Amino acid sequence: MAFVHWPTEVHMKRMSVLKVGHPFIMEASGSYPDGVNWYLFERCRGRIDPSDLTKPRTAPDEPSHNSVESIVYAIANVLTWGETLEAHPSCGVLRWHQLKLWHVTELYSDALARGYWTQRYWETGIPSPLHPASTIQPRLNEILLCWQWMERYGLIAKFDEPSPLRAIGAAIKKANQSYAARSAAQNETGAKKTHFRRNRTKPGNGVMPGMDHLLDWIERIPSETPRKAVLHILDRGLRIDENEENTLLPGIIHARDLSHIRRDVRHYSWTDEPRLLKYSLTDDHMIGVLPDRKTAFSSDSLISQRIIGKGKKIRLAHMTRGCAQALWHYADGTRRAILQKNGIIPSSAPAHLFLNRDGRPLKAAALAKAISRANEDMNAPFRITGHVLRHLFACFFLKNAIEGHAAREGLTVAQLTYQQIEAVAENPARVLQLHLGHAFFEDTAGYIKLLIDWWLTPMYFDMWNEFLDGQRA
């Protein structure tokens, strides 16, 4: 697997040619693909003109960070494909300097179109075709640009060397047979999740704050808008990065600024064309639009919304009637006051619900900073983050379900065994899995363990303390 490295200040002293934010790639073997990294060095600094490789730019036009990410991960993806023998068994392992044009345009492209070269397929054995226009073609364009540039500067040779059509057909057939065999094997054993390196704590390994601590912490959020945004995340279990693009107000003309939308919350059908937003559960262009006022103040106890989240996955997320109404109270109160203070008329206001003090959309980074300041002010032994709020939502959801079941059976939670708690929690955890957008149930099941540690452990230690106090008396 090819690994992408993003240099930080620590690397600068040893590698003076690097610049913070400009990446390089290392192969799985630890080798440094010189030609590829030379291309990235020039491309990510805007010194290569994609429309004309014959003329180096005299005035560099440096791409945005999102563009740099798209460039480097497209290259890393095809390098990983080249290293994977199962993807092209008749060709052997293909290093960066061994790739040919037909490898990319025939074998690699076919695997993308059939859905074999995707993370979901390698996790589950289920093909997941990529979108031709929004994903496959841009990726192929960048890869071909890289290898054509390397050939032009003598870093590789005979990139466009032809291969007999019969050989190409045989290679594709062998590759598809390899993929089919893998799918059959996974169907027999069942899909298993691939465990990637994590930078955050898994739910089952975390430490959750108590309710008093949580309420005290919320009061320390510095201003009204971040506080309301935090409560919204806690009410619904959203990721902090999902909050911005999934809280659009209906009834406003809005053009999505795709250049500033994170890659993991952008839908392939979105354009920058202005549209009148409306609440809809079917229109892809209305993903992320909040329930309208009529729906929020209806008699429905549960209100649904289509949102886009991690991995560009669309899911149906829900909110209570009280949550929906609280959003409109904020829109009619604090949000309106912010617009008036900044002299922004309603027709010129952003479509985003949560606005900063200048009347601009509240960014995920700004919300994370407000959360961090509240932690510093609190000075507690553990920190609350945007993802901890998501964990808390999940725990409260399961806790309520378990208590409700125990009450219907005429029992207290203390009378339930560990096995009973797990059994009772499974059905609501399945519902929670869909709501949170987890691909694997084991991610959601981690909340059951976390709930037991967070909720039941103090209860039994209180009993132990009472016993010890009684012995001392």
Classify residue 194: in a domain, yes or no. Answer: no
Same-domain check for residues 171 and 42: yes
Write down the pTM of the prediction: 0.61
Same-domain check for residues 26 and 136: yes
pLDDT in tens, 262-313: 555 667 778 888 999 999 999 989 999 999 999 999 998 899 999 988 777 8
Which residue shows structure tokens 């617009």?
339
How many whole angstroms separate alpha carbon 413 and alpha carbon 404? 10
pLDDT in tens, 137-172: 999 999 999 999 999 999 999 999 888 888 888 888
Same-domain check for residues 408 and 360: no
- Reported confidence tier of residue 473, pLDDT bands at 50, 70, 90: low
pLDDT at 166: 84
Average pLDDT, integer, range 333-358: 94
Report the SS3 class of residue 362. coil
Classify residue 276: in a domain, yes or no. Answer: yes
- Greatest Cα-to-Cα distance within the chain, rounded to the nearest angstrom: 92
Same-domain check for residues 220 and 151: no
Contact between 225 and 356 under an 8 Å Cβ cutoff? The reply is: yes
Classify residue 125: in a domain, yes or no. Answer: yes
307: β partners: 315
Residue 46's CB: how many other CB atoms inside 10 A?
A: 15
How many whole angstroms separate alpha carbon 320 and alpha carbon 322? 5
| Domain at 299, CATH number | 1.10.443
Tokens at 157, concatenated: 């040779």
Same-domain check for residues 299 and 402: no
Same-domain check for residues 293 and 150: no
Residue 206 has pLDDT above 70, yes or no: no
Same-domain check for residues 425 and 349: no
- Reported confidence tier of residue 198, pLDDT bands at 50, 70, 90: very low
Classify residue 200: in a domain, yes or no. Answer: no
Looking at the structure of the chain, the number of domains it has is 3
Q: Which domain holds residue 253?
A: 211-383
Same-domain check for residues 243 and 110: no
Mean pLDDT of the residues in the chain: 85
Residue 231 has pLDDT above 90, yes or no: yes
Same-domain check for residues 18 and 135: yes
How many whole angstroms separate alpha carbon 395 and alpha carbon 446? 10
Classify residue 197: in a domain, yes or no. Answer: no
Same-domain check for residues 319 and 401: no
Q: Which residue intervals of 310-385 are DSSP H helices?
A: 321-330, 336-341, 364-378
Same-domain check for residues 13 and 158: yes
Last residue of a domain, one of 348, 383, 418: 383
pLDDT at 225: 94
Same-domain check for residues 147 and 258: no
The residues near 384 (Cβ < 8 Å, ≥ 6 apart) are 209, 214, 217, 371, 374, 375
